[in-house]
Structure formats: C-alpha cells, structure tokens
Structure 1
C-alpha cells in the first residue's frame, strides 16, 4: 500500500535538521509539503497594528521561495497558498489520500487554536505527528519537568549545562524520482498579501535575505570567513553595522536555521579555531532563547496577560499620544528615538536598543507593555513569540527579572553610543 505523508510547514522552514521532514521521508513512499500564508497574520491586531508588517513578510517570502527550491531538489513538492491552514491542509489530506500529517509542535494560543481546527476537519484515521523541533535542549532531555522550570534563567542554564546534552543533527534523504510532481502554486508578493512595497534603507544593520541558504551563509561568514565569532561577547552590544552581532535571530525565528546547527558549528569552531568567552556566549544566548520557550510552555497564555507570569498589578496607562510619540521616535530621550526610528525604517533593532526602548515604554512612561510587544511583533524581522513576550515581561516587571530593574537610558547611551554615532545616524532629519 502506498503511503502519502504531508509536511505542514510553519516556523520550521528548512531542510537541514528538520525532524518532520526526516520522519515523513522514512515513513512514506510519497511526501508532499504545504505552507499557508495565513491571511490573519496580515490583518490588524486588537491594538491597530498589522500583525506581520512588510519587513518580516518580505523575509518570509524569500524564505519560502528558497524552501520551495530546496524541497524540489529533494523531489518533495511544496504547495504555497494564501489561505487558512484549516481549509488548505484539510483539502490536501482529502484530495491526496494523506495517511500522516507531520508538523512542528507549537503551544502558544493562536497556533494551538489553528492546529485544533485543522484536526477537527480531518479524518480520525489520519496520523497526526507533532514534534518539538525548535529547542536547543529538547524537552525530553532537560533535567526537570515543565512545571518545575525555574523562575530565574541562571538556575535553568546551569542545570541544563550540567545534566542535558544537545542532540545530533537530523539528515533527510532525497526522495525517489517518482515523488517529483510539478507544483502549480507560486510564492506571493508583498502586494499579494496586501502590504506596501519595500525599499531597503541603506543604513540598516540587517541587509540580509530570508531563507535557509542565506542563514547558513551567514553562519559560515560570521564564524569561519571573518571569525567574528571569536569576538562576539565584546561586540554584541553594538548598534551600528552588520557584524556587531551574529544576526542569527531572524533565521532562528522562522526556523530556517536550527539552533542545534549553530551549536554544533560553534563546537567545531572551538575545536579548530579558538574556544573562549565569545564562543561560549553564543551558546549562552541560545540557552536564553530556550529559556523563554520553556517559560511560555510552563505559563501558557499568562505570557500575554497584563499581569504577566507574576500576576503583578501596576497602574498602566494607554495614552495614545504618548504611545505614538514612542513609535515615531519623538520622546524626550534621543537614544530611544534613534532606536525607534531604526525599527520603523528597517524592521531591525539591536538587543541593547530593545531593552532600552522597552524599559522606557513600560517603566518610565508606564504604558501597557502589551502594546509595545504588539508593535515589536508587527515590525521586527526576527519576531519570535516566546522571546518577544518573554523579554517584554522581563523588562516590564511582570516576568523573570528577579531584580526588577529600570534602564537608565541616558547612562546606557553614554556607555554604548559613546560618540553618538548611532544617534547621529538616525536623528539627522535631513535623511527623512
């Protein structure tokens, strides 16, 4: 009996170290794949922001184009639609007599709701195979249960470093030639998604294209070609240029780079080039990324609530004028303004910038932090639900910061933008 498997791609847009693909190829004689540009992701949210603005949308378009080409080389057709997954996946299962659906397991509310709706529309006889595939430390390998995830990152990190191991990379084999079919669907344009065209700002610190090939090339360049990895810890708080940080986050966010791939590449670099604080710090940051995923896994929808995971009540306000001034880079703080203008014009902001503008929004202006988080969700190329909301909770006093700090923006500017190079780059009005 011929078994046909369907891989439903979501935020796992790669062919390397891709567990759903590997399982589908092993367990079926014919494999096909589908990706849906969900129209709901390009509509306005409850705060009035487009959920996925043009910057991340363009990066996603480039990613799906690359993925379609790469899968074609493996004799796996990727069908692309602008439509609801619950409609499209159900149709493919029915029309093509799919026996198994493979996908990355998600747990945040919107994603779970879509998954459940799809499940309800397909026959019970279809195998539904979900796999955790976005962690560095797999949930089965960490030395604690999800309900015992520590409140403090350092405790989590030390336990995982001591007791957990990183899994080896998964490799997919090419499917037989008879699996090849012509896919008649095309990857959409920004216009197809109802978004304005994009012209890249020459000042951007993130001029990179989306897609697995671009992500792997960036890994090759950052580690081996330039050996910037050797200096990562010293430069990671930079603000100007492409190489002060790895910029891996955008490819990690939509799954076109596997965190395990980065980890094993760093380990190889340590054995062949140098092992130092900087190489360790790259892995350290991957563990931070894991931590926020585990926090959302533990606390569920509380990560989206005003009181956060601490159930802490503050007197937040929602003054639209003040919020708009923050968005437009017209606050009383030039350093905040420069970072907000960078985000507005490029879809990118440094880690240092994000911490400062978020702290200023929530702690200084005392604005409803969820509005700031939603704006980041809309604009950021590297938006990741777990990291975004985890970090906003953290800086807003309702998350995992045991010290509940407020950033002194002026001191931060003096420390990290010593000669005002960054602020001058973005605050010169003649450039707009």
Structure 2
C-alpha cells in the first residue's frame, strides 16, 4: 500500500511495537499520530480527576521522546487534540491512507473509542488492530479469553504449560512520513485547569521520567548495573528506596516498554548471570498484569460495578468526610497516612502500601471501593485501568481471587516497617517516638505525649476510629 496511518495509544515506543512495525512493512509512507482526546481528562463520576498532573507530565515526556525517536528514523509524530473518532479518520482522508494501524485495548472506554474510529473510517480504508500490551499474546492463550479461569493460579499454570512468549520485534530502522504540509503540532502539557506538578520530593523512591529512553535506562540500572534482579522476591515488599522493586510499571502502563522486551532482558540476565526464584518472580508479576488485561477483555464493564464481576452485594458507605481523611493521609493511623502522603507527594506507592490502604478504606472503613480506585486513577503515575480496578475489586472482595480476609494495617506496619523508618519518613512529626508508638500513637498517655512533645489532635490526628476494636470485629465476623 502507499500510505498508512499509525495511531499511537498506550504503546509509546519503537521497540517491540508490532503496530508500527507491521505498518512500516506494509506501506511506503507512514503517518504516526497521537490524539490528545479531552475525554481522557476531566472529572470522574466519583468526583476525582481522570488523570492527575504527574501522569500528565509523564505522558508529555513520553510523547516528546517518541517524537525524537521517530525523527531519528526519518519520520515524525503528529499530535492533535480532539475526539479520536473525528481526528483519526480526518487525517486518514487528508493523506489518502489505505489503512489505519492501531493498538487494541481491553478496557471498556478504550475499546469503545477504538470501535468508533473503525466505524468512522471509509469502507476502503482498512482498520488493522494489534494486541501489544501483554506478555502473552491473546491469540496464544490455551483457552480463549472469554472462557479463561477467573482465578489466577490455575490460569497461570495453564498459560505457562501451554503457551510461549513471542519474541519481541525489532524497531524499524526507517520511518518515512509523508510531507503533506501537515503541522506536527505541539505535545500537550498541563492545561490551564490542571494543578501544577509540585517539585520532586527528595523522599520519592524514583524520579519517573517518561519515554522509552528513560524506561530502558531504568531497566539497565535495575537489572544490569545494580544487579538487583537476583534478589527481587526477597526485597519486593520494601517501602523505601529505588531498588526494593523494579518500578517498571509506569513505563509499562504508557507502553514505553513492552512486557516482552522486559521478559527478554530477564531471560538474558538468567543466561548471563543467575536464574533463581527471584528472577522468576518478576515474570510472575508480569503474569499478574496479563491476567487482569485478559480478565477485562472477558468481563468488561462489570469491573466497574459495586458488585464486581462476582455480583457480590455489600453495603458500601459513602461517607465523604471519611474518604477525604483517607485521601489526605489524615486518618490518625500512621501506616495508612504515611502511604497516602507518599502517593500524594510522588504519584507512586509500593505494592504493599497499595494493598494496605485499599484494605483500610474498603474493609476497616467500609467506604465504596470504587472511590479509592478512582483516586488511584487520578494520583498514580503508573495507572493502568485493568491492573488498578482489578486489584481494587480483588481487595474489596468482589473481583478475582477475592480475599475473604482483610489486611490488618497495624500488624502489617509492624511486620514490614518494624523500626518505623517508613512511617517517620513520611510523618516526620512522629520521628521522636519509639516504633511501638510511631505505629500506635494513641496508646501514649498524656504524660508520654508531653515527654515526646507530641499532642494528639494537634500535632498529629487522633485516630478516626478505634482501629484495634474494628480489627477484632472483622476477625470475629
């Protein structure tokens, strides 16, 4: 064919991008385009923003990096604003394209817009979709996605036994973009209505810079230079520092890195250095990510219902004040507050922290879990719709592999933050307390509060509920 449009979505990379590679192989000229659709921003029905400023900045950096990479190959990236079902067909018509190539996504809004683009294209323009966001290809699953097991472990075992990870495809050496007098357009930054991004907090575990170049550098630093993969399983429940976990998630979510490319790096590490349970465990985590992508293709909008995919009916509280205190890190429960303040200041939270604050909101407070999922959507730099909503539904007891037991944030804090280093990092007002009081400051007498110069209710909030009694209640129900 003469000309193909490549519509970039959450696949902002050149390496292992079959959408781009197949288009380059099929057409003489390629028009790469990214559309800043206004529906990806704005307020959700839960009163949160669909995309906060940190993820917005990461997206802008990723687009700038993608444009630079395409220009290095002789091409360019056009950036437009508007509804994708209007912008993409219009560009296809203007360059007389024979086909539009695009990544396909499993989530409902993304899939709906993708279908709208296909419906709006002229009949003589082919719509070529490529599945590019998972480790295993959807066509290679031993059981079709609409019949896969809803429990992770049997699904994982079946996939590991009956499917193979495809080899990554190489980035194209050249991309020939037609010169039709089209303005490349400006990469969007924060709009006037967006909150400004606060400076990087020196307590942040990592400065997440967007783009394939930065993502590959993080892989190089973590796997190769730091040699951290050999102990990944041992350290993955850490809370402080850059290297207790891989932190590849932001680049995976935006598609700056492909899971297959990371998988190849893991296998190369195993061949050249060491293969052990720790190296496997990073692949295991990629499988969890895959699982939720395929589950969203199977169950769709059911993941956003209060009853989840299991149709579990619970009485959810919709207490705005309780939710606000949770979101602001003002619950008076230090481990919860420390995690929420880290999230608010940096856009990132450890997996251990995510599990605990989700459990506190859904289990201890009984607040509608979807409010928490929506707040994470706004705040997380590594937000991925399937992973986020799938994990929240799981913790709320309405999703896959759902927990019948809650996380006790008090015992979790003492287990994973025994010296209270994490809590006092994010709650410096508690820094002078011994660990047992840093985790449970309400146990201090008035005399001890005076001794440590910390007044509950003034210097740090009193707990919003008797959390120890609440956990006894949950344990005995």
TM range (shorter): over 0.9
Give the match for residue 106 of structure 1.
105
Matches within 5 A, 1:140-155: 140-155=139-154
The answer for the alignment partner of 1:245 in structure 2 is 245
Deviations 1:265-322 (Å, cap 9, x if unpaired)?
A: 1011001100111100010000010011111111111111110011000010110000
Q: Which residues of 2 match residues 316-331 of structure 1 at below 5 A?
A: 316-331=316-331
Report the counterpart of residue 116 of structure 2 in structure 1.
Answer: 117
* Cα distance change, pair 401–175 in 1 and its aligned pair in 2 (3 A): same
Q: Is the 8 A contact 2:89 2:120 kept in 1?
A: yes
Correspondence 1:305 to 2:305: yes
C-alpha deviation, 1:71, in angstroms: 1.0
1:167-213 C-alpha deviation (Å, 9 max, x unpaired): 01112333366757885312122246744244211111121211000
Residue of structure 2 in register with 1:364 after alignment: 364
Aligned residues: 431
Q: CA deviation at 1:335?
A: 0.3
Which blocks of at least 5 consecutive residues in structure 1 are unaligned?
none
User: Could you tell me how far apart the structure 2 residues matched to 1:98 and 1:195 are?
Assistant: 39
Structure 1 distance, partners of 2:175, 2:352, is 48
In structure 2, what is the equivalent of residue 67 of structure 1? 66
SS across alignment from 1:140: helix
Does the aligned pair in 1 maintain the 2:12–2:212 contact within 8 Å? yes
User: 1:242-283 CA distances to partner (integer Å, 9 max, x unpaired)?
Assistant: 111100000000111100011111011001100111100010
Partner of 1:39: 38
Q: 1:288 is matched with which residue?
A: 288
- In the aligned structure 2, how far is the partner of 1:157 from the partner of 1:176? 38
Structure 2 residue ranges without an equivalent (≥5):
432-458, 460-477
The structure-2 alpha-carbon separation of the partners of 1:180 and 1:318, relative to structure 1 and needing over 3 Å to count, comes to same
Q: What is the 5 A alignment of 1:204-219?
A: 204-219=204-219
Q: Residue 336 of structure 1 corresponds to which residue in structure 2?
A: 336
Structure-2 separation of matches of 1:56 and 1:24: 28
Q: Distance in 2 between matches of 1:31 and 1:377?
A: 33
Q: Which moved more, 1:399-408 or 1:418-427?
A: 399-408
The CA distance in 1 between the partners of 2:3 and 2:275, in whole Å, is: 46
1:379 and 2:384 are equivalent in the alignment: no
SS in 2 for 1:200: coil
Secondary structure of 2:44's partner?
A: coil
Aligned to 1:33, what secondary structure does the other structure show?
strand
Output the CA distance in 2 between the equivalents of 1:151 and 1:188.
39
1:134 counterpart residue number: 133
Point out the more displaced range, 317-326 or 116-125: 116-125
Cα 1:311–1:27 change in 2 (3 A) is same
Name the counterpart of 1:165.
164
Contact 1:191 1:197 in 2 (8 A): no
So what's the TM-score if we normalise by structure 1? 0.96
Instruction: Give yes or no for the alignment of 1:16 onto 2:20.
Output: no
Aligned to 1:407: 407
Moved over 4 A (4+): 176-183, 429-432
Please say if residues 395 and 401 of structure 1, whose CA atoms lie closer than 8 Å, have aligned partners that are also in contact: no
Give, in whole Å, the separation in 2 of the partners of 1:206 and 1:28. 40
Alpha carbons of structure 1 residues 429 and 96: separation in structure 2 relative to 1, 3 Å = farther
Query: How has the CA–CA distance of structure 1 residues 193 and 95 changed in structure 2, closer, same or farther, with 3 Å as cutoff?
Result: farther
The offset of 1:116, in angstroms, is 2.5
